[in-house]
Amino acid sequence: MMSVDRSGEADTATVYTEPGPDGYAKQGTWQRGDEMSATAVPDLVVAVDDVFGS
């Protein structure tokens, strides 16, 4: 699951992985200028700038 936050000073994308009965075991947060990769497909890289657009 991905949560996108545009309300703060910096746009951020937080990705939650490894869901379980008590919530997600891991989370990572990226901001503009960062690149994130899919856990299941590590060669799939997404620029955070592309998530937010111009």
pLDDT tens digit sequence for 30-44: 999 999 988 889 899
Strand partners, 36: 46
- Given a cut of 90, whether residue 9 has pLDDT beyond it is no
- Given a cut of 80, whether residue 24 has pLDDT beyond it is yes
- Given a cut of 70, whether residue 54 has pLDDT beyond it is no
- Mention every residue, 6+ apart, whose C-beta is less than 8 A from residue 49: 32, 33
Q: How confident is the model at residue 21 (pLDDT cuts 50, 70, 90)?
A: very high
Q: pTM of the entire structure?
A: 0.74
Mean pLDDT score across all residues of the chain: 88
